[in-house]
């Protein structure tokens, strides 16, 4: 979608907006010369605020004559999964003759690494600073079309598969014929916005994970965490895996940097989100043969009050032991 002579502003403190599933704060907005918010450029469908009043505090204006492309989805792309599933696919539509526009808040180690791997030089990147109006003569953006957690049939997800294939080529990832490792991929609870590790989904944890890890170690599983690792370090850590067990969620996205995972077991509470998408993506990248999903009841005392799908759960260890015996 192409826009002419429109303004984009990145507001440091954000504005409370309405999403289909609730409220959050958004930081990046398009608006026209009458200060009217434009829908579908990012996720927000309605703004519950006096937008004109907010914009009065933004005094500096920068005019951009060069053709540009906006690389942004919505504020929750600070979450690893949201970034890789809803923002990264947009690079499939990027024309290298245009400047790539990205807010300062998401121009981090992860984004910089991906740009470098895809051959996007720094001088083709325009970083939006806080509280400045940028008036673009010509800017393209891909409308936000939602999660599409129903597999890779949606256009944005097919685009994501193509970008992942380009990353595989750039990283020299080829399918392994020597997959022997057994790995438990543990969630990293540390917040690191440089690596897109946010607090989104922090309620979705395994209450008896220590006991689970003890069982897995007894069965010769390696225990690894990837939250603060570079892409190259993730590629090395995910080499030649025969069996991988992890929680359903953002951790699964790390497998786009793996050369194999013949058997994958995902663990989740009883409100799983995204399993079809993740399994479909792994199929498209030819990374797995056997895929299993074990569901466990959410613990009522530890559920995210803002999102009922984010709840802690207890894994049935006997259930896991029987799974290992079938391998």
Beta carbons of 210 and 95 less than 8 angstroms apart: no
Under 8 Å CB-to-CB from 221, ≥6 apart: which residues? 182, 183, 184, 243, 245
214 and 124 belong to one structural domain = no
Residue with tokens 């793996």: 258
Listed residue (184, 147, 172, 117) closest to 320, CA to CA: 184
For strands 68-70 and 99-103, give the pairing: parallel
Rounded CA separation 201/258 (Å): 23
30: exposed, middle or buried (Cβ count in 10 Å: 0-12, 13-18, 19+): buried
Residue 163 domain-assigned?
A: no
- Distances, alpha carbon 38 to alpha carbons 19, 47, 53, 79, in Å: 15, 10, 16, 24
Indicate the pTM of the whole model.
Answer: 0.86
Beta carbons of 149 and 253 less than 8 angstroms apart: no
We report the CATH number of the domain holding residue 303 as 3.40.50
Q: Residue 137 phi/psi, 5° resolution? A: -70, -35
Residue 152 domain-assigned?
A: no
Listed residue (6, 314, 2) closest to 143, CA to CA: 2
Under 8 Å CB-to-CB from 206, ≥6 apart: which residues? 212, 247, 267, 312, 313, 314, 315
- Give residue 130's pLDDT: 86
Alpha helices for the chain (secondary structure H): 51-55, 80-82, 109-117, 155-171, 209-218, 231-237, 250-253, 275-284, 317-325
Rounded CA separation 124/96 (Å): 8
22 and 118 belong to one structural domain = yes
140 and 182 belong to one structural domain = no
- Give residue 199's pLDDT: 60
Q: What is the pLDDT along the chain (327 residues), one digit of tens a residue?
A: 776 777 777 777 777 766 555 566 777 777 776 666 666 566 555 555 566 666 777 878 899 999 999 998 776 677 788 888 888 988 999 999 999 999 888 898 999 999 999 999 999 999 999 888 899 999 988 876 555 555 555 555 788 889 999 999 999 998 888 899 999 999 876 655 666 565 656 667 899 999 999 999 999 999 999 988 899 999 999 999 999 999 998 888 899 999 988 999 999 999 888 888 888 888 888 888 899 999 999 887 766 656 667 788 999 999 999 999 998
Residue with tokens 């013949």: 262
Report the half-sphere exposure of 294 (CA within 13 A, side-chain side).
Answer: 21
Rg, Å, the chain Cα set? 21
174 and 136 belong to one structural domain = no
Rounded CA separation 226/186 (Å): 8
Beta carbons of 161 and 284 less than 8 angstroms apart: yes
- Give residue 158's pLDDT: 82
43 and 107 belong to one structural domain = yes
312 and 185 belong to one structural domain = yes
Rounded CA separation 63/267 (Å): 49
Residue 110 domain-assigned?
A: yes
For strands 241-247 and 132-140, give the pairing: unpaired
Beta carbons of 276 and 151 less than 8 angstroms apart: yes
- Give residue 251's pLDDT: 87
278 and 190 belong to one structural domain = yes
Beta carbons of 281 and 160 less than 8 angstroms apart: yes
135 and 196 belong to one structural domain = no
Residue 82 domain-assigned?
A: yes
Residue-number span of the structural domain to which 206 is assigned:
169-325
Beta carbons of 251 and 187 less than 8 angstroms apart: yes
How many domains are there within the chain? 2
């Amino acid at each position: 979608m192409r826009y002419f002579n429109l303004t984009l502003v990145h507001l440091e403190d954000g504005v409370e907006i309405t999403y289909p599933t609730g409220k959050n704060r958004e930081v990046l907005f398009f608006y026209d010369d009458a200060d009217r918010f434009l829908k579908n450029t990012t996720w927000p469908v309605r703004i519950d605020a006096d937008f004109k009043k907010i914009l009065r505090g933004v005094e500096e204006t920068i005019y951009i004559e060069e053709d540009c492309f906006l690389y942004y989805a919505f504020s929750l792309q600070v979450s690893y999964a949201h970034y890789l599933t809803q923002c990264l696919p947009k690079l499939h539509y990027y024309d290298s003759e245009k400047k790539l526009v990205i807010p300062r808040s998401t121009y981090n180690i992860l984004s910089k690494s991906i740009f470098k791997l895809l051959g996007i030089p720094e001088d083709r990147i325009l970083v939006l600073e806080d509280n400045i109006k940028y008036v673009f003569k010509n800017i393209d953006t891909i409308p936000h079309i939602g999660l599409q957690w129903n597999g890779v049939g949606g256009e944005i997800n097919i685009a994501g598969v193509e970008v992942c294939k380009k990353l595989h080529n750039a990283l020299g990832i080829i399918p392994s014929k020597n997959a022997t490792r057994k790995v438990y991929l543990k969630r990293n609870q540390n917040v690191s916005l440089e690596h897109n590790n946010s607090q989104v989904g922090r309620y979705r944890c395994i209450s008896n994970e220590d006991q689970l890890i003890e069982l897995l170690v007894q069965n010769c599983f390696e225990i690894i965490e990837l939250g603060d690792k570079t892409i190259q370090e993730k590629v090395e850590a995910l080499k030649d895996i025969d069996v991988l067990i992890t929680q359903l969620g953002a951790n699964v996205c790390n497998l786009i940097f793996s050369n194999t995972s013949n058997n994958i077991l995902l663990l989740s509470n009883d409100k799983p989100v995204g399993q079809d998408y993740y399994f479909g993506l792994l199929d498209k990248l030819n990374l797995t043969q056997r895929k299993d999903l074990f569901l466990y009841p959410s613990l009522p005392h530890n559920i995210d009050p803002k999102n009922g799908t984010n709840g802690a759960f207890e894994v049935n260890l006997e259930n896991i032991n029987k799974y290992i015996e079938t391998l």
